[in-house]
Structure formats: C-alpha cells, structure tokens
C-alpha cells in the first residue's frame, strides 16, 4: 500500500511536470470534488463492512471511546505545537495534523483550501506518519501498550496498519484498532476544514 502511494506520487510529479496541457490530466485536475466524494463513499463502505463491531464496542464502551478521542486530541495538539516551534501557519499546521494519517483525503482537501504547497506537505507528512507507524508499532507494543500502537497509526488503524497491529498486539485488540480507525476517519472531513476556518488563521 505504501509502495503504491509512493509510486502514485512519483507518477503525479512526472505528469505534472511533463503532462501539462493534455486533456485527460486537465480533466483530473478539475474533478477534485468528484474524487473527494468517491473517497468518502469508500470510507462509508469500509465502515459498513465491519460486521459485529457495534456489538463488540458495547462490551467495552469506555475504552473504545477514550482511544480515538485521545488520538484526535493528541494529533491536533501536535499540530499546534509544531506551528509554535517552527513558525508554520497555525491554520495549516492544525489542518495537516487533523488528517491523522489519511494522506489521500488530506492532500486533496488542503490543496483546495490553502494551495498546492500545503496540499503537498499534508500528503507527505501524513504518508510519513503511516510509514513510520509500521516501524514504530513493534517497539511500542514491546515497551508501551496496544493503545500506543493504535495512536501511532491514527486513521489507518482500521486498514493498512491493521495486519501489523494484529501481529504485535494480538487479535483481542482488533476491535479497538478498527473502531479507532472508523472514528478518526469520520472526524477527519469535519475537523480538517474546521481547523482551517475557525479562528486558527
């Protein structure tokens, strides 16, 4: 998955540099709303396919809610802290952090809000969070706990990093991991523009 994302990025860079003016690429560039709607449809399908998640959630309600809320709060605070330390604009930094590893939606949405440079930063930083989580999850499982592994993965804990999560934290944490990914994925489309528009500029 990560390799495919990197190949898609490299292909996009080449097409952007050499393919300007071709009707197909112009059509893709002017279809961002359609692409976003398809992404949201795929998330809805992913959530709908999770059979039995609601029954499992009812057995441990406090724990399943604390983790995604903590992940969301920690990601936003991290974005604010990075803005303060680096001088990066607060609105853009918080918005990028609000993506919580969902680099595809984050890159396109932030590009539409703040321009291509910030969209590129959002894509790369959230892709890096996903890649780093693959390497960090074994260490976090060994020295901390499953909740730390789930937090590192962010919104990807329901899909791309789930297999690694199962291997190092055990199948009993699958429900927590999937539910965290579902909640974080649901939060991203709301929090991202909210952070950008509501008083953070």
Task: Provide the token pair at 39.
Answer: 């992404």
Q: Is position 16 within any domain?
A: no
Q: Is position 23 within any domain?
A: no
Instruction: Give 60's DSSP letter.
Output: S
> For residue range 133-154, what is the model confidence (pLDDT) as tens digits?
888 898 999 999 989 999 999 9
- Give the chain's domain count: 1
Contacts of 70 (CB under 8 A, 6+ apart): 147, 151
Q: Is position 72 within any domain?
A: yes
Q: Is position 126 within any domain?
A: yes
Q: 183 lies in which domain range?
A: 63-201
Q: How many angstroms separate the CA atoms of 76 and 80, rounded?
A: 6
92, 196 Cβ separation under 8 angstroms: yes
Region of poorest pLDDT, from 22-26, 72-76, 154-158? 22-26
Q: Is position 70 within any domain?
A: yes
Percent of the chain past pLDDT 70, that is, above it, reads: 69
Q: How many angstroms separate the CA atoms of 34 and 148, rounded?
A: 35
Q: Is position 84 within any domain?
A: yes
pLDDT of residue 69: 93
Q: Is residue 72 over pLDDT 80?
A: yes
Q: Is position 141 within any domain?
A: yes
What's the mean per-residue pLDDT of the chain?
A: 79
Contacts of 25 (CB under 8 A, 6+ apart): 15, 16, 19
pTM of the model: 0.72
Q: At what angle do helices 174-197 and 61-86 cross, to 10 degrees?
A: 40
Contacts of 100 (CB under 8 A, 6+ apart): 71, 72, 75, 126, 129, 154, 155, 184, 187, 188
Q: Is position 147 within any domain?
A: yes
């Amino acid at each position: 998955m990560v390799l495919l994302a990197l190949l898609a990025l490299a292909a996009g860079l080449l097409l952007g540099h050499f393919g300007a003016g071709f009707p197909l690429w112009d059509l893709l560039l002017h279809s961002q709303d359609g692409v976003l709607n398809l992404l949201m449809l795929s998330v809805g399908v992913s959530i709908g396919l999770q059979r039995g998640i609601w029954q499992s959630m009812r057995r441990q309600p406090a724990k399943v809610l604390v983790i995604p809320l903590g992940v969301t709060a920690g990601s936003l605070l991290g974005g604010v802290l990075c803005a303060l330390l680096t001088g990066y604009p607060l609105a853009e930094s918080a918005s990028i952090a609000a993506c919580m590893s969902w680099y595809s939606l984050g890159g396109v949405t932030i590009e539409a809000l703040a321009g291509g440079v910030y969209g590129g930063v959002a894509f790369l930083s959230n892709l890096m969070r996903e890649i780093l989580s693959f390497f960090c999850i074994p260490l976090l499982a060994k020295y901390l706990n499953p909740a730390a592994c789930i937090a590192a993965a962010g919104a990807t804990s329901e899909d791309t990093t789930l297999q690694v999560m199962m291997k190092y934290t055990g199948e009993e944490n699958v429900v927590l991991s999937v539910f965290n990914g579902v909640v974080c994925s649901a939060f991203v489309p709301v929090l991202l523009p909210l952070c950008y528009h509501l008083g953070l500029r």
